[in-house]
Structure 1
Amino acid sequence: MDASKAQSLRARRNDRDTAPQPDHSITDNDDHHDRLSRQFGAVSPDVHSHSADSVITLALFILAAALRFYRISFPDQVVFDEVHFGKFAAYYLRREFHFDVHPPLAKLINAFGGYLAGFDGHFKFDQIGDKYLENNVPYVGMRALPAIIGSLQVPLIYAIMRQSGYAPVIGVFSAALLLFDNAHIAQDRLILLDAPLILFMMLSLYSYIRFYKLRYNEFTAQWWAWLVATGVNLALTMSCKMVGLFTFMTIGTAVAWDLWKLLDIRRGLQIEHVARHFFARFFALILLPFGVYLFWFWVHFAILIRSGPGDVFMSSQFQQTLTGNPMLSNARDIQYFDTVTIAHKNTKALLHSHVERYPLKYDDGRISSQGQQVTAYPHNDTNNVWQIVPTKSIPDDDAKARTVQHKDTIRLLHVNTNSYLLTHDVASPLMATNEEFTTLAANDTSRYDDTLFELFLDEADGPDKTVKSQASWFRLVHKNTRVCMWTHSEPLPDWGFNQQEVNGNKNAMDKTCLWYVNELTPSPDSPDLDERLKPLPPRKVVKMSFLKKWLELQLQMLQQNAGLTQSHPYATGPINWPFLLQGISFWTKDEGQHQIYMIGNLVSWWGTILSISIFVGVLGADLLARRRGIYPIPSAVRNRLHHSTGFFVVAWACHYLPFFLMSRQLFIHHYLPAHVCACLVAGGVLNFVASETIQFPISHPGPLLTPKHFRPRMDNVVPKQARAVMGVLVAAMVVCFWWLSPLTYGTPGLTTAEVHARRLLPSWTLHFAK
């Protein structure tokens, strides 16, 4: 382009299109505004000091509480996942150990609510629809705590927007997107985990914004206070659910970007100074949160000191730390020639055999050995009894020498049919890749080697390697073929009486290959028979270090969480969530056609996803325009859009996109944290569309500022036309909320025609719609 054309092009640009000059101090426009503020003695406003903000905050809380507490006593029955989380609260109050894939904090909060309400843990929340009033459960008080926590989220979203420099009307609009959302209300008024999770997530965002605004007052007491508050809130978020990691990702992304800017040589900071910033954040945002996270597990273990339903997920050493665990009261040394029943750790089915044989030919055409069937059976039966036979010389008068030890080679004699357990290179009935298990007559010595099994204890690190009833988990590995005895829950056909198949698993280290001795009958020839028949004396619980217990539980949580892959009629993929293609049926009652269907407010959810789309579109168009030397957005407005609204978009992406990588069972309520972030995005985008102004300065001036750049102070002015549009949008949200409210509250009951009218999308699976 020649000089005359370039001059002509520049002449057509107005002030708005003028390209900004490079800033060698690498500061954003908020820096300029703060310097101006310092130059003229202005004080950066603390938005929460204004009485109007206080009134709005209080009003939002009252409205949110009113919507969440409305008829909170209905229904007086167990609803949806109250089956699980109400049950966990009861276990805490009874101090019985239980297992769950989630960290303990939110469950402890529910238990605390039950304690305050006077609940003693007697009710077990067994099934959806179980009656609360008939069982004297103070369920209203238990539901009240998450409802209060959920109510706090609405004024907090307003506070986040105000601290981020948006006008009160924009803050109210973002808050309204959450205030009138049916999905959040339905979730918050039940004994569930999401209300504290989302509150702590929002507090993390709020704390970090307050910290970032103090960046010109580094290492002051207030700077440290908000940095530490960010770390503590991050820890509390993750202590509720593992998805709190997504909040760590959000703050971590912002911190990494901030440190990257500090590292720039043009900032003029010494590397030692940058290192101070790094280690301050490392302490407050990694070490401190880890300590807080560990603390709630310490509380968890300190409360749950009694044996409970969660024992079976833990190691035998862990179980023996619990009062009343069967491993403490029933653990006896096993000796050769004792008769035992052997149970599978995962399915609890007992090793079983009977005279019936495998069919010669299976339905798929494969051929069996036609040997005696070996199965797993969940009920007591004389065909569950086996005798442990040695393969080496055993002294008659030395009880210790007769005990079964880790790595012993043994044989198992089925008592009723007088035949030895055997496996061989023949495919099992249900799995062609696994070996068939059968038996061999005791008087047949021709295949002796095929009846030999090595016994490996799962936990053989300690000095005592004796196999004990109830307390020892072990693997039985075939001496010749090296397969491990295994069973699974799929039943055999009718010819196997629908019992579980037992076969040889080639992966001998599979964690589901573990068995234990369930019942023990000492051999009449035992040299210490009289002593073994006496009742066992009470035993003290075994000590186990906190970190070892925590690590074992943490690994189990991750493993079990990844294993939640079963199908569910209301499970949905992440792609469906922002568009509300399907909800979840929480509860139904045929009489009166009542139902609670968890579904969001269409105006709120569709509006927020539209806002994210607009942000992406504006960002892309701006980048393309700037590539061509055109600057359509004022630099101050552009920076606020990128730094503030962009931060909210990152938060939304971090809380939503990772679900696409998960193979576990997912539901629409997993989107609720991301929806809150989307409400923040909607406010930022609306402000960008509606106003050409921003509020600044919003950061606190400090000693690091120098008066190099001056800009006049600006207020964020939202035109009346934009306020009118916002009013219409909020009114539409209110109408949608009111229309769907019978599905949110479960009352009043609706006729079939009324239910059908509320089925706003054909994919919604409402009850009583036909």
Structure 2
Amino acid sequence: MASGAALYATSDGLKRRNFGREDSEIEDIISKTSSLNLADRKMKFSDIWATTNENPESSSSDHIAAGQGNSRYGLFNWSSIIILTAISAFVRLYQISKTNYVVWDEAHFGKFGSHYIQHEYYFDVHPPLGKLLVGLSGYLAGYDGSFAFESGHHFPETLNFQFMRTFNAFFGILCTPIAYQTAVLSGFSKPTVWLITLSVVFEMISLTLAKFILLDSMLLFFTVTTFYCLVKLHKLRLESQSLSKRGLLWLAITGVSIGCVCSVKWVGLFITCVVGLYTIFDLYIKYCEFETNQTSFSTYFKHWIARIFTLILIPFTIYLACFKIHFMVLNKSGSGDGSVSSLLQASFENNSIEGGPRTVRYGSMVTMRSHGLSPNLLHSHPSRYPEGSLQQQVTTYGYKDNNNEFLIEFDLESGNNGEFATYEPLEGENITTRPLLDGDIVRFVHKDTGCLLHSHAIPAAISKSQNEVSCYSSLEASDPKDEWILEIQVQEESPDSFFANESKDEVHPISTNFRLKHRVLGCYLATSGYSYPAWGFGQGEVICKHSFVGADKTTWWNVEDHVNPSLELPEKAYMAPKPKFWKEFIMLNYAMMSSNNALLPDPDRFDKLSSEWWQWPILQIGLRMCSWTSTDVKYFLMGNPVVTWGSTALIGCFVIYTIVLLWLWQRQRIVYHGGILDSVFNQYLIQGLAPFVAWLFNYYPFIAMGRVTYLHHYAPALYFGIFVSGFVIEQALKKLPKLIRLISYAVLYAGIIGMFYYLKDFSFGMEGPSINFQHLKLLETWMV
């Protein structure tokens, strides 16, 4: 270095002196940085995050410290949480028992709680956890489960409905402290934390829903906890603590929260997808570190194992456990028997299965249950298909009635020879009969209408690639397309040795699983898992399907009820095989999926309660939750306009803000020196982008799906819209003078609280004629 300096000095003495100063500065930098390593950088990254998260234009007193080192901030946080939670509790519990009758969907979920208390099996489109909690609230309230929860009916004096509503309200109340802590952990300033939390407190959709026995507060609570866990995992990642004991604990807590939110309603999958997307992002970072030798393969592998166990296995275990408890508690016959397998029904106390004689014979009356995506009973009714053959419809139906009954008749050749099994015998005449055997050719006569189960080369109504199944003609005009070949697949064995010697070639009710092959077309009677529209009463589609795999359960059937007065009953009651949990679990989830798909809007019927997705962010329409007579207390489900309209506008601003950021980054006007580890980028990621993605994931599916929708479906998305709003407002105000910022926040607080106070009767209940509340109509479309 000295010789270089001397050579440079021969040409310019002034530059020689400058070179010497620069040389000494370089040596000083090298000496100061020679001891640094990547581990030190990782250890201090949380400090960088906390530092860069401070607003350089404001004093430190305006911001909440990321850690808990400052006791003054800790005291402020706890006092704020207590105050805001108390306010949240007051507005949600105030006059919660004002209506002593069943309001809106309390008719559904209160009734499901009753079923749990009385142990009666029921069917619903939602997973069990939320309804189990409703049942628990009734049990803790001393409720005996005898009330029918019919809409508009008054609660009996023996039912402590106020306790049940309060139990539900606490899930809504607890969203407040978790929202506050989420905002703190995300690094928002104190005024923004209060803005976000006040918006959650006075957000009127979730506030009103919290006052009744519904699932929405539980769904929102577990959605909120899942997002909080996501923010916590993000912070732990920045601190390189993902595999620490604390990191693994929070991964497990996240898995528990995911399992709970998905076990309340399937829409919990939306926030689960957000966690999954972040996990992919996180593992990509770990992969980059592995590729650049910053971490070992064993450490990278541990990250994968930890996430598979905590974010997949734990949620799935909780989901399974909820169904296990569901089956264990509901051990008596109930309204939902028609939607589950014959084996499960047979295990219920006081079940209604007409097991009848143990061998099914020609001339018997039977009902047949599918093992497929619509595990319901084969059904027909006089209504006809609106297109295709225009013949009588064949469906699957989840309830028991006379239209499920079919008579077993000999094949066409026997009929041509005058041999019938289903005609009433003349006086002194004997009807020939015999057992139904594997490989037999059989016809099925619909008992009520007299037509035969039939198929032909006409496309099915929904599954166009398969053949339509109908009921057609009569025995006198029967043709070969009425014939089916019976193929026995499995004979379930009874645990009672008395039934151990039943013939394997004969059909037995409950225990024999078989397929029915169309003799002419070679296809199999099957269910598609789809449901017919209104013209088919939302019942399951039945098709004739070409299936080359015997294990295809959509083509499997079994006899459930068997009635034949001419046969003797067994000497003792039949003991059915124990139902297999995995099979029942899968079939019930398929049935739930099928029923969800059937929740389509009826174009021929005006539903004054439903609304479209585009109406929610602009609050064009609300929802009347009960009767609207002058003597009733009336509740109108409507969002707080300041919160909802504000979030809608600010989400649009966030999209523009993001586009501008991307343009500036592409033009290299802004540079993230740390790449995806850059503290400024991570601030944008967790404060703005993550809640925006969560809003999108909780909103867009309702745009894409065809099912009927209501305003309350927007509540989870609106929660994340509030966080996006907080981010945009903080970015917009952070460079303004402190006094102007504080005034701006005060105006926003006043707007949120003032608007709620103005519209409070929507949530607290309107007494008297609705004309007295017309001044609350901010839009003409509000049906107040």
Distance 2:244 2:395 in 1: 70
1:688 equivalent to 2:731? Answer: yes
Matches within 5 A, 1:412-561: 421=452, 437-441=472-476, 449=480, 452-455=483-486, 464=504, 466-468=506-508, 479-480=519-520, 506-507=544-545, 518=561, 520-523=563-566, 529=567, 531-532=568-569, 537-540=572-575, 542-561=577-596
* Counterpart pick for 1:133 among 149, 156, 175: 156
* Counterpart pick for 1:45 among 56, 62, 68: 68
Matches within 5 A, 1:24-103: 31=46, 33=48, 44-45=67-68, 50-103=74-127
* Counterpart pick for 1:408 among 435, 440, 443: 440
SS in 2 for 1:410: strand
Q: Taking structure 1 as the reference length, what is the TM-score of the superposition?
A: 0.76
Q: What is aligned with 1:217?
A: 241
Q: What is aligned with 2:746?
A: 727
1:177 equivalent to 2:173? Answer: no
- Mapped contact 1:690–1:719 kept (Cα < 8 A): no
Matches within 5 A, 1:692-707: 692=735
Distance 1:433 1:261 in 2: 53
Distance 1:113 1:161 in 2: 31
- Mapped contact 2:118–2:144 kept (Cα < 8 A): yes
- 1:364 deviates by 10
SS in 1 for 2:308: helix
Q: What is aligned with 1:526?
A: none
- Mapped contact 1:307–1:323 kept (Cα < 8 A): yes
- 1:118 deviates by 0.8
- Mapped contact 1:47–1:53 kept (Cα < 8 A): no
For 1:587, the aligned partner's letter is C
- 1:112 deviates by 0.8
Distance 1:332 1:224 in 2: 58
Structure 1 gap ranges (5+): 1-22, 396-400, 493-497, 524-528, 694-717
Query: What root-mean-square deviation, in Å, do the aligned CA atoms of Structure 1 and Structure 2 show?
Result: 4.8
Distance 2:206 2:455 in 1: 58
1:291 equivalent to 2:317? Answer: yes
1:340 equivalent to 2:383? Answer: no
1:592 equivalent to 2:631? Answer: yes
Distance 1:577 1:402 in 2: 63
Distance 2:443 2:209 in 1: 56
SS in 2 for 1:326: coil
For 1:257, the aligned partner's letter is F
Distance 2:271 2:404 in 1: 55
Matches within 5 A, 1:700-715: none
Distance 1:206 1:501 in 2: 41
- 1:471 deviates by 7.3
Question: Per-residue CA shift, 1:255-277, capped at 9, x if unaligned?
Answer: 22122122224572223322222
Q: What is aligned with 1:114?
A: 138
- 1:151 deviates by 0.5
**Most deviating of 111-120 and 636-645:** 636-645
For 2:635, the aligned partner's letter is I
Distance 2:313 2:540 in 1: 47
Q: What is aligned with 1:619?
A: 658
Question: Per-residue CA shift, 1:402-460, capped at 9, x if unaligned?
Answer: 3223542124679999x9848587999x999766611143xx8xx67466443467976
Distance 1:382 1:205, change over 3 A: closer
Distance 1:502 1:448, change over 3 A: farther
Distance 1:503 1:603 in 2: 46
Distance 1:379 1:299 in 2: 25
* Counterpart pick for 1:645 among 685, 688, 691: 688
- 1:152 deviates by 0.7
Distance 1:62 1:383 in 2: 56
Identity %: 25
* Counterpart pick for 2:287 among 263, 268, 272: 263
- 1:464 deviates by 5.0
- 1:188 deviates by 1.0
Distance 1:483 1:758, change over 3 A: farther
SS in 2 for 1:587: coil
- Mapped contact 1:331–1:470 kept (Cα < 8 A): no
Distance 1:300 1:416 in 2: 36
**Most deviating of 621-630 and 721-730:** 621-630
SS in 1 for 2:357: coil
- 1:541 deviates by 5.4
- Mapped contact 1:486–1:505 kept (Cα < 8 A): yes
Q: What is aligned with 1:711?
A: none
1:316 equivalent to 2:342? Answer: yes
For 2:117, the aligned partner's letter is L
Matches within 5 A, 1:150-169: 150-169=172-191
- 1:32 deviates by 5.7
For 1:81, the aligned partner's letter is D
Q: Taking structure 2 as the reference length, what is the TM-score of the superposition?
A: 0.75
- 1:626 deviates by 3.5
Distance 2:302 2:448 in 1: 75
Distance 2:707 2:610 in 1: 10
- 1:603 deviates by 0.6
- 1:325 deviates by 2.2
Distance 1:685 1:481, change over 3 A: same
* Counterpart pick for 1:671 among 714, 725, 741: 714
For 1:340, the aligned partner's letter is M
- Mapped contact 1:423–1:504 kept (Cα < 8 A): no
- 1:110 deviates by 0.9
SS in 2 for 1:454: strand
Distance 1:600 1:116, change over 3 A: same
For 1:70, the aligned partner's letter is Y
Distance 1:71 1:322 in 2: 41
Q: What is aligned with 1:759?
A: 777
Distance 1:457 1:321, change over 3 A: farther
Question: Per-residue CA shift, 1:100-136, capped at 9, x if unaligned?
Answer: 22111111111111111111111122x32011136x3
Distance 1:166 1:465, change over 3 A: farther
1:280 equivalent to 2:302? Answer: no
Distance 1:464 1:352, change over 3 A: farther
Q: What is aligned with 2:30?
A: none
Q: What is aligned with 1:201?
A: 223
Distance 1:553 1:744 in 2: 36
Distance 2:598 2:537 in 1: 24
Distance 1:374 1:279 in 2: 49
- 1:162 deviates by 0.9
Q: What is aligned with 1:330?
A: 355
Distance 2:130 2:387 in 1: 54
Distance 1:574 1:726 in 2: 30
Distance 1:565 1:58, change over 3 A: same
**Most deviating of 270-279 and 58-67:** 270-279
SS in 2 for 1:330: coil
- Mapped contact 1:68–1:188 kept (Cα < 8 A): yes
Equivalenced residue count is: 681
Structure 2 gap ranges (5+): 1-35, 53-64, 422-432, 494-502, 548-552
Question: Per-residue CA shift, 1:505-558, capped at 9, x if unaligned?
Answer: 5558896997957562333xxxxx4x43x7x63444532333232222222222
- 1:352 deviates by 8.5
SS in 2 for 1:282: helix
Distance 1:642 1:489 in 2: 44
For 2:224, the aligned partner's letter is M
SS in 1 for 2:655: helix
Distance 1:542 1:209 in 2: 48
1:656 equivalent to 2:699? Answer: yes
Distance 1:308 1:365, change over 3 A: closer
* Counterpart pick for 2:599 among 552, 557, 564: 564
